[in-house]
Chain A
Amino acid sequence: MLGLFFLLFNLGIAYSDFFKYHLRWFITAVALQRYRGKGASELITIKKYVRAESLEQAYQLNQKRSNRILGGMLWMKMSSNTVQCAIDLSDVISREIDEREDSFVIGAMTPLRELETNKSLNQYTCGAIRESLRSIVGIQFRNTATVGGSVYGRFGFSDVLTMLLALDTSVQLYRGGIVPLETYANMPYDNDIIVNIIIKKTPLKTAYMSSRNTRTDFPVLACAISFYKDEQRVVIGARPQKAMIIRADENVQKLIDSEAEVYAQALAGQVKREVLTSSNMRGSAEYRRHLAYVLTKRASLHILDPKEAGIC
Chain B
Amino acid sequence: MQQKNQHDYSVVNHSVRKKDAMALVTGQPVFMDDVVQNHCLTVKLLHSPHAHARIRSIDTSRALQVAGIECVLTYKDVPQKRFTLAGQTYPEPSPYDRLILDKELRFVGDVVAIVAGETKKAVDQAMKRIKVDYEILDPVLDFRTAKDNPVIVHPEENWISLCPVGADNKRNLCASGMEAEGDVDSILDSCDYVVERTYHTKACQQAMMETFRTYTKLDPYGRLIVTSSTQIPFHVRRILANALDIKKSRIRVCKPRIGGGFGAKQTAVSEIYPAIVTMKTGKAAKIIFSRYESQIASSPRHEMEVKVKIGADRTGIIQAIDVYSLSNTGAFGEHGPTTVGLSGHKSIPLYGKAKAFRFAYDVVYTNQMSAGAYRGYGATQGFFAVESAVNELADNMHMDPFVLRRINMVQEGQIMPAYYGEKNTSCALDRCLDRVKEMIGWDEKYPSKDMGNGKVRGVGLAIAMQGSGISNVDVGSATVKLNDDGFYTLSIGASDMGTGCDTILSQIAAEELGCSLDDVTVFGVDTDASPYDSGSYASSTTYITGQAVVKACRELKKRIAEYSKKYPGLSLKEIGNQSMAGNDISLEVTSMHTSPVSPPPFMAGAAEVEVDKETGQVELIDYAAVVDCGTTVNPNLARVQVEGGLVQGIGMALYENIQYTDKGKLRNNSFMQYKIPTRQDIGDIHVEFESSYENSGPYGAKSIGEIVINTPGPAIADAVYHATGLRFRELPITPEMIAMGLDEEE
Contact = CB atoms under 8 A, between A and B. Distances in A.
A/B contact in complex, CB under 8 angstroms:
yes
A235 interface: no
Which of B47, B667, B672, B680 has the most C-beta atoms of chain A within 10 angstroms of its own C-beta? B672
Contact of A40 (B292, B657, B680): B292
Interface stretch (A31-39, A146-154, A236-244): A31-39
B495 to A, nearest CB: 28
A174 B616 CA distance: 45
A290 B739 contact: yes
A36 B740 contact: no
A131 to B, nearest CB: 14
A140 interface: no
Contacts of A214: 655, 675, 677-678, 681
Contacts of A284: 736, 740
Nearest to B735: A213
Contacts of A294: 614-615
Given A214-B675, A281-B659, A290 B669 contact: no
B736 A215 contact: no
Question: Is chain B's binding surface mostly helix, strand, loop or mixed?
Answer: loop
A36 B673 contact: yes
A287 B736 contact: yes
A81 interface: no
Nearest to B740: A287
A283 interface: yes
B739 A281 contact: no
Nearest to A38: B49
By size class, the interface of chain B is 20 to 34
Interface in A258-312: 281, 283-284, 286-287, 290-291, 294-295
A216 interface: yes
A211 B738 CA distance: 13
B734 A36 contact: no
A217 interface: yes
Nearest to A298: B614
Contacts of A121: none
B594 interface: no
B562 interface: no
Contact of A41 (B290, B617, B743): B290
A40 B296 CA distance: 11
A215 B680 contact: yes
Interface residues of A, number: 25
A213 B675 contact: yes
B667 A213 contact: no
Contacts of B677: 214
Given A41-B290, A281-B659, A291-B615, A217 B736 contact: no
Nearest to B743: A290
A40 B670 contact: yes
Contacts of A41: 47, 290, 292-293
Contacts of B614: 294
Interface in B710-746: 734-736, 739-740, 743
Interface in B652-708: 655, 657, 659, 665, 667-670, 672-673, 675, 677-678, 680-681
B735 A220 contact: yes
B124 interface: yes
A284 B615 CA distance: 13
B728 to A, nearest CB: 15
Contacts of A36: 667, 669-670, 672-673
Contacts of A217: 675
Contacts of B665: 37
Interface in B175-223: none
B369 to A, nearest CB: 15
A56 interface: no
A290 B657 CA distance: 22
A211 B615 CA distance: 7
Nearest to B682: A215
A215 B681 contact: yes
Interface string A215-240: 11110100000000000000000000
A144 B108 CA distance: 34
Interface in B288-307: 290, 292-293
A238 to B, nearest CB: 14
A215 B292 CA distance: 22
Contacts of A40: 292, 669-670, 672
Contacts of A283: 736
Contacts of B669: 36-37, 40
A281 B743 CA distance: 21
The 3 lowest CB-CB distance pairs between A and B, nearest first, are A215-B680, A41-B292, A287-B736
13 contacts: A35-B670, A36-B670, A36-B672, A42-B124, A211-B617, A211-B735, A213-B675, A216-B680, A284-B736, A284-B740, A287-B736, A287-B739, A294-B615
Interface of A: 35-38, 40-42, 45, 211, 213-218, 220, 281, 283-284, 286-287, 290-291, 294-295
Given A41-B293, A214-B677, A215-B680, 11 more contacts: A36-B670, A38-B49, A41-B292, A214-B655, A215-B678, A215-B681, A290-B739, A290-B740, A291-B739, A294-B615, A295-B615
